[in-house]
């Protein structure tokens, strides 16, 4: 594992704690770094090592589409 994978895993744990999501979370990925299977596999192992039980899902849509959809929903709220 790389230091980057360990830092991303620590960040995921911090987000889960801050948002009080519990230890079981749904996770997806975006971007060219996490599109790399080797890197993503190391991140998955790192996330498990910090104590998060993540359910990994393939991205359902491109990140920019998901961000636009979320922004529109927040604007309506």
State pLDDT tens for residues 11-60.
999 999 999 998 899 999 988 899 999 999 999 999 999 999 999 999 98
List of residues 6+ apart from 49 with CB closer than 8 A: 9
pTM: predicted TM-score of the whole model, two decimal places: 0.79
**Residue 2 burial by CB count (10 A; 0-12/13-18/19+): exposed, middle or buried?**
exposed
Q: How many domains is the chain built from?
A: 1
Distance, CA of 20 to CA of 15 (rounded, Å):
8
pLDDT score, position 42: 97
pLDDT tops 80 at residue 1: no
The domain of 42 spans 3-76
């Amino acid at each position: 594992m790389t230091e980057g994978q360990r830092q991303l895993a620590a960040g995921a744990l911090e987000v889960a704690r801050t948002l009080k999501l519990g230890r079981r979370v749904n996770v997806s990925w975006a971007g060219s770094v996490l599109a790399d299977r080797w890197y993503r596999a190391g991140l998955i192992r790192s996330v498990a090592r910090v104590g998060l039980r993540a359910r990994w899902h393939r991205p359902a849509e491109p990140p920019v589409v998901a961000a636009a959809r979320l922004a529109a929903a927040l604007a309506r709220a």
